[in-house]
Structure 1
Amino acid sequence: MNCASPSQTVAVLGAGPAGLMAAWELQKAGLSVVVIEADDKVGGLCATHSLEAQAGTFRFDFGGHRFITRNPELLEFVEQLMGDELLHSLRKSVIRFQGRTYDYPLAIGDLLKNAPFSLLAGAASDLLFKLPFTTPVTDRQNASFEDWIESRFGTTLYRNFFEGYTEKLWGIPPSQLSADWAAQRISLLDLKDVARRLLPKRDATPRTYARSYRYPKYGFGRIFERLADNLRDQGVDILLNQPVSGVVREAGRIKAIETAAGQRIDCDQVISTLPLPVMADFVGIDNQLGFRALRFFNMPMATDNISDNTWQYLSDPDILATRLQEPRRRSPFMSPEGYSSVMLEIPCFEDDSTWRCSDAELLPRIQSDLSRLGVDPSLATGEYASTRARYAYPLLRCGYQQERQRVVGALNQIPNLIMTGRQGTFRYIFTDTAMEMGQLAARSLIEGQDRRAEIFDFRNEPTVIETQSVA
């Protein structure tokens, strides 16, 4: 891979965290950059959307974002970018299941008070009589989520807390989901580790997730709106409402980007954050990779407080959403004074009935679920709106690693294309990792080093990054 020269144009596809950070590094090096974005705003899955209601402006993110990182340089960059707009926030979460509410992370007193005897007895039986004679599954390449969880936490906890929620989230049985999802997202080692952490002691093991985090005053997307403003000030073109519809190739290289509006954008180098299977389709690579979509149902509420929880995990399979979030818990500026809001995070597949139906058609189901959860739907102002994320979660079916690697290898044969970011590398990663990936992609062009293999597996260690956050 040759160094990109100032006379060359680099097309960055996607104005999310990875794309904008790549553009930032490229413009600092004096390169000509054009950013091409399908949406009408920057931020990608980290964007913040506004609902203009009678009471004022209500703001909703695409999901439960928080800025956490173990990279002090990146934290300093974001702090300088945001100034006094960056707040300190505390996370408080609970699990809702079968009419009961459990603290998250688990606490012994709370469990003894709230859990049914059958659950406690079953977990104790697994701990004493099953798990000591079970070898934990370690083969992340071939094992399923079900195998990984049951071999560590036992049948009782798997059936109660993991099975139904996981199938609702992913839309496939846990027996078809890769163990990668468990290995990368669950920092507890096994049921013995759960029991050990529940016991109160002075030198208790640190919590398994970051309670404290940084969050912008007016929504997570403000980080990337600020970054985009700075890029424009430096002369970088950011083209919004320009979905990429294809690429023009000559002699094996990408020579131009085509948009749905019929525009052709000539380029010398390409850094793409487009979903991996989408780019594969553009260049004629057959693949079996797919994504799980999300629909967010956003509702202003005529009360200043729904609960004291940042979000609630909704484990019951017959409740439509997987999480109930109250944006005001992250920042009081996410809703007008005296008001709050709820955001229900609903997994679906693109173009299924949940994705397609109107807000009015979905509303009765939402109201029924809120009532079950103890949220009075009559507090709603009567205003509501959905936002949708078509490529929310890479679908990690068993064996997906081999298919991903095959597609990656084929795309890496295009010498002037670098894939990066969450969707571009088909990885479930945190925002800070996506930003670092964008920087790494840009620096590989600037330095003329082929670091694509490093980018695809960047921070792919089997630990939960939240436990090491410096934010």
Structure 2
Amino acid sequence: MTKDTNIVDVAIIGAGPAGLTAAYLLSKKGYTVSVIEKDERYVGGISRTVEVDGYRFDIGGHRFFSKSKEVVDLWNEILPDDFIQRPRMSRIYYEGKFYSYPLRAFEALFNLGIYRSTLCMLSYAKAKLLPNKTIKSFEDWTVNQFGYKLYSIFFKTYTEKVWGMPCDEMSADWAAQRIKGLSLWSAVTDGLKRSLGLNKRPNDGMATKTLLETFRYPRLGPGMMWEAARDKVRAAGNDVLMGHSFKQLAQDAAGNWRMTATKTDGSETVITAKHVISSAPMRELAARIHPLPTSIPQASDLKYRDYLTVVLMIKSDDLFPDNWIYIHDSKVQVGRVQNYRSWSPEMVPDPSIACVGLEYFCFENDGLWSSTDEALVELGKKEMGILGLCKPEDVIRGVVVRQEKAYPVYDDSYAANVEAMRSELESKFPTLHMVGRNGMHRYNNQDHAMMTAMLTVENIDAGARVYNIWNVNEDAEYHESGDEGEKAVFTEAPAAKGAELSEGQAAALQSERDVPKRIAKDDDEAQNSDSKAA
């Protein structure tokens, strides 16, 4: 077996937003860097853009917006001439009708019709007269707020599709964080006042909230950003090695790292480095460190939610103007449909062809994931027909794109598992740095992943962990509103050893999104479950 050997200052695992941000900034500072990426063709990770015969597919949809000035400046530096401004539009689709997103309660009742709206209001009245006083789950909280009927239509189906767990097992705290400002009673009274001409400025039951109406986007998709970053890293004389899978990581007596990567032809590349930055899933990192860390059982218990996209090219003008639509219909398995031309006209080369991506949320190796591409394309065509969004016979081609480990799962043990691994590795290996979504097992935005890398570069340059990139606050809403690059003040800016973050750095680190947490069983329930299992 042949081996190539590289000696660099920093080895980086993964060419996603975190890995390439680190590689680019380190290159600017004069460090030698080698990046390994298991994909043979694409950089960007979940932010890559897949291209097939001129059609381009964004894996999940990535708006380029951040309140962090540092992140915005870096985007502009890497890709100065290729951003376009796009209108923001996403709606909910249910039984042939579109509903605003975020949900507008009065509009929803109007669209549902008199009979179903009456049932919703009766269900709402019952919830208010006889509320559940023991609120534990997402279902408990949402039914209390809106009644079971509206909950079952607009909250239950889609939430369970995405997260793969029943709503009665998700925490009520997550519901309270996600569903803010929506009041059914305010919507109804507001609608009545409008019909009588008593209210000229309706709020439709929503607390005042300004969502982004437009956003910036690379004209050829988000992968364009990371392809440009890759090219700049290479132009600086450093390596981005494609088709290289992370195999093993070990440290010698002098404290230098020896990282082995397996190439697609079976040969190996060995990289020797003073520092390693890992954006690999924590579970995979732990399993490949030699000798194995004592926290390997906790790391092995970390779980992920995966998804796949069935891309359909359809003989038609655009089917709908939205960037994407949320599918709340239980008759189909698809959870969301992307419309690639609405992201950028240049994503779809033929104006007579509509190109959409049907997103299916699943677990790796379950029935959906294991289906053949041909079967998945047929499923996509069938479900588009069921939804009435297109005629199956108008589909001229289909492509399947799989994305493993798209969402880190927040079960009742994940925090302890992450902390066990993080504490051991940081204490044993001060020159090993974990960054990004999967590298830290955190459901964060693109700008958060970039900022973890930016601060890690500062730590490497300083020769110490000056910034604690783990000590982040959660602010799921900021990403939806406000001004790009603004230096909003956030409390408790995370820092260690006296270092202070700028407001822009703190803004990026606060972009981690809300994730449902599974309700922990109390002692009695756990004992009952154990006895039943026995």
> Alpha carbons of 1:88 and 1:405: their partners in 2 closer, same or farther (altered >3 Å)?
same
Q: What secondary structure does 1:227 align onto?
A: helix
The 1:76/1:187 distance shift into structure 2, 3 A limit, reads: farther
Alignment of 1:163-202 (within 5 A): 163-178=156-171, 182=175, 186=178, 188-189=180-181, 191=183, 195=187, 202=201
**In the superposition, relative to structure 1, how do residues 180 and 364 fare at CA in structure 2: closer, same or farther (>3 Å)?**
same
* Deviation of the 1:207 alpha carbon: 3.9
* 2:105–2:184 Cα contact (<8 Å) kept: no
Shift of residue 89 of structure 1? 0.6
| 2:448 aligned to which of 433, 447, 456 | 433
- 1:251 deviates by 5.7
Query: Could you tell me how far apart the structure 2 residues matched to 1:169 and 1:112 are?
Result: 25
- What SS does the corresponding residue of 2:15 show, helix, strand or coil? coil
Structure 1 residues 268-277 or 123-132, which shifts more? 123-132
Letter in 2 for 1:321: V
Distance apart, 1:369 and its partner CA: 0.6
Q: Kindly state the Cα deviation for residue 129 of structure 1 after the two structures are TM-superposed.
A: 6.2
**Residues 439 and 198 of structure 1: CA distance in aligned 2, closer, same or farther (over 3 Å):** farther
* Cα distance change on mapping 1:126 and 1:426 into 2, 3 Å: farther
Report the AA paired with residue 388 of structure 1.
R
How far apart are residue 307 of structure 1 and its match? 1.3
Identity rate of aligned residues, in percent? Answer: 30
Aligned to 1:34: 34
Aligned amino acid, residue 377 of structure 1: P
Q: Secondary structure of the equivalent of 2:443?
A: coil
2:439 maps to which of 424, 434, 444: 424
Residues 152 and 309 of structure 1: is their aligned pair in 2 closer, same or farther, counting only changes over 3 Å? same
- SS at 2:66's partner residue? coil
Given residue 97 of structure 1, which amino acid in structure 2 is its aligned partner? Y
1:332 aligns with 2:366: no
1:281 aligned partner: 287
- Kindly report which structure 2 residues correspond to 1:41-80, keeping only aligned pairs within 5 A, or say none: 41-52=42-53, 57-80=54-77
Equivalent position to 2:460, from 445, 451, 470: 445
Root-mean-square deviation over aligned CA pairs:
3.0
> What SS does structure 2 have at the residue aligned with 1:427?
coil
Measured after TM superposition, the shift of residue 108 of structure 1 is 5.3
What CA distance in whole angstroms lies between the structure 2 residues aligned with 1:246 and 1:152?
51
Q: Aligned partners of 2:415 and 2:188: how far apart in 1?
A: 33
Q: 1: CA distance between counterparts of 2:244 and 2:43? A: 12
3-state SS of 2:407 partner: strand
Residue 260 of structure 1: SS of its match in structure 2?
strand
What is the distance in 2 between the residues matched to 1:282 and 1:130?
52
Please name the residue that 1:4 is paired with: none
CA contact (8 A) 2:8 2:272 kept: no
Query: 1:384 and 1:123, CA in 2 relative to 1: closer, same or farther beyond 3 A?
Result: same
What is the rounded CA distance, in whole Å, between the counterparts of 1:183 and 1:401 in structure 2? 20
Q: Give 1:438 deviation, angstroms.
A: 1.2
Q: Check 1:462–1:59 CA distance in 2 against 1; reply closer, same or farther (3 A cut).
A: closer
Give, in angstroms, the shift of residue 171 of structure 1: 1.7
Match of 1:157 in 2: 150
**1:126 deviation in Å?**
6.6
Aligned-residue offset at 1:134:
6.4
How many angstroms apart in 1 are the aligned matches of 2:47 and 2:380? 24
| Cα distance between partner residues in 2 of 1:64 and 1:459 | 24
TM-score normalised over the length of structure 1? 0.87
Q: Structure 1 pair 49/180, CA: closer, same or farther in 2 (3 Å)?
A: farther
* CA distance in structure 1 between the aligned counterparts of 2:383 and 2:114, rounded to whole angstroms: 26
Task: Indicate the residue corresponding to 1:264 in structure 2.
Answer: 270
Is 1:14 aligned with 2:14? yes
Residue 252 to residue 403, structure 1, CA distance change in 2 (3 Å): farther
Q: Which segments of 5 or more consecutive residues in structure 2 lack a partner in the other structure? A: 1-6, 192-198, 486-534
1:401 Cα deviation (Å)? 2.3
The more displaced of 205-214 and 408-417 is 205-214
Deviation at 1:132, TM superposition (A): 9.0
Q: Deviations over 1:87-133 (max 9, x none)?
A: 00112112122443212223356324312446544654576664599
Residues 321 and 342 in structure 2, CA contact (< 8 A), matched pair in contact too: yes
Q: Which residue identity does 2:237 align to in structure 1?
A: G
Residue deviations 1:162-206 (CA, integer Å, cap 9, x gap):
22222221222223345575466x262453697499777659655
Contact persistence 1:18–1:273 (CA under 8 A): yes
One-letter amino acid matched to 2:100:
D
Inter-CA distance 180–423: structure 2 relative to 1 (3 Å threshold): farther
- Name the counterpart of 1:350: 364
Closer, same or farther: CA 131–215 of 1 in aligned 2, 3 Å: farther
* Contact 1:48/1:221 (<8 A) preserved: yes
Deviations 1:256-303 (A, max 9, x none): 111123222111111111112211222331121111111111122222
Change over 3 Å in CA distance of 1:462–1:79 after alignment to 2: closer
Preserved CA contact (<8 Å) 1:247 1:254: no
Corresponding residue for residue 3 of structure 1: none
Q: Residue 281 of structure 1 aligns to a residue in which SS?
A: helix
Distance 1:97 1:192, change over 3 A: closer
How many Å separate the matches in 2 of 1:425 and 1:193?
41
Q: Is this contact kept in 2: 1:136–1:151, CA < 8 A?
A: no
Q: 1:405 to 1:159 in 2, by over 3 A?
A: farther
Q: After superposition, what is the alpha-carbon deviation per residue over 1:378-406, rounded to whole angstroms, capped at 9, x for unaligned?
A: 2222x221111111011122343233222
Q: Could you tell me which amino acid in structure 2 is paired with residue 106 of structure 1?
A: L
Task: Find the aligned partners of 2:189 and 2:425 in 1 and give their Cα distance.
Answer: 45
**Which range moves more in the overlay, 101-110 or 25-34?**
101-110
Instruction: Specify the code of the residue in structure 2 equivalent to 1:281.
Output: A
Q: Secondary structure at the match of 1:286?
A: helix
Query: Whole-Å Cα distance in 2 between the matches of residues 225 and 180 of structure 1?
Result: 39
SS of structure 2 residue aligned to 1:115: helix
CA distance in 2, matches of 1:465, 1:447: 30
Residue type of the alignment partner of 1:104: Y
Q: Shift of residue 426 of structure 1?
A: 1.0
Deviation at residue 214 of structure 1 after TM alignment: 0.6
